[in-house]
Structure 1
Amino acid sequence: MTTLMQSDVLSRHLRRHVPLENKVAVITGAASGIGREIALTFAREGARVVIADLDRDAAEATACDIDPHAKRALAIAMDVTDEAQVEAGIYRAIETFGRIDVLISNAGIQTIAPVVDLEFAKWKKLMSVHLDGAFLTTRAALRQMYRQKSGSVIYIGSVHSKEASPLKAPYVTAKHGLIGLAKVVAREGGAHGVRSNVICPGFVRTPLVEKQIPEQARELGISEEDVVRTVMLKETVDGEFTTAADVAETAAFLAAFPSNALTGQSIVVSHGWSMQ
Structure 2
Amino acid sequence: MTLKDKVALITGAASGIGEHCARKLAVDGATVVIADLNLVNAQRVAEDIVASGGKAIAVAMDVTSEEAVNEGVAETISRVGGLDVLVSNAGIQIVNRIEDYAFSDWKKMLAIHLDGAFLTTKAAIRHMYASNKGGSLIYMGSVHSHEASQLKSAYVTAKHGLLGLARVVAKEGGIRGVRANVVCPGFVRTPLVDKQIPEQAEALGISPQEVVKNVMLKDTVDGGFTSLADVANTVAFLAGFESSALTGQSIVVSHGWYMQ
TM-score by length of 2: 0.98
Match of residue 190 from structure 1: 174
For 1:257, the aligned partner's letter is F
Identity of aligned residues (%): 63
Of 139, 148, 151 in structure 2, the residue corresponding to residue 164 of structure 1 is 148
Matched ranges for 1:141-220 at <5 A: 141-149=124-132, 150-220=134-204
Match of residue 271 from structure 1: 255
**SS of equivalent to 1:67:** helix
Distance in structure 2 (CA, Å) of the matches to 1:173 and 1:70: 40
The reply to whether residue 45 of structure 1 matches residue 28 of structure 2 is yes
Match of residue 90 from structure 1: 73
**SS of equivalent to 1:258:** coil
Unaligned runs of 5+ in 1: 1-17
Match of residue 137 from structure 1: 120
1:244 is displaced (CA, Å) by 1.0
Match of residue 223 from structure 1: 207
Distance in structure 1 (CA, Å) of the matches to 2:53 and 2:116: 26
Matched ranges for 1:53-72 at <5 A: 53-68=36-51, 72=55
The CA deviation string for residues 24-71 of structure 1, in whole angstroms up to 9 with x for no partner, is 000000011100000000010111000001111110110011004998
**SS of equivalent to 2:201:** helix
For 2:103, the aligned partner's letter is F
Distance in structure 2 (CA, Å) of the matches to 1:70 and 1:81: 32
Match of residue 13 from structure 1: none
1:203 is displaced (CA, Å) by 0.2
Match of residue 245 from structure 2: 261
Contact 2:29–2:54 (Cα < 8 Å) also in 1? no
- Structure 1 segments of 4 or more deviating over 2 A? 68-71
Contact 2:49–2:56 (Cα < 8 Å) also in 1? yes
Distance in structure 1 (CA, Å) of the matches to 2:99 and 2:70: 37
Distance in structure 2 (CA, Å) of the matches to 1:19 and 1:69: 20
Unaligned runs of 5+ in 2: none
For 1:89, the aligned partner's letter is G
Match of residue 233 from structure 1: 217
Contact 1:64–1:70 (Cα < 8 Å) also in 2? no
Match of residue 116 from structure 1: 99
**SS of equivalent to 2:195:** helix
Distance in structure 2 (CA, Å) of the matches to 1:224 and 1:71: 39
Of 16, 20, 26 in structure 1, the residue corresponding to residue 3 of structure 2 is 20
For 2:55, the aligned partner's letter is R
The CA deviation string for residues 64-83 of structure 1, in whole angstroms up to 9 with x for no partner, is 11004998211111110011
**SS of equivalent to 2:184:** strand
1:176 is displaced (CA, Å) by 0.1
Distance in structure 2 (CA, Å) of the matches to 1:213 and 1:69: 34
1:273 is displaced (CA, Å) by 1.1
The number of residues matched between the two structures is: 259
Matched ranges for 1:73-88 at <5 A: 73-88=56-71
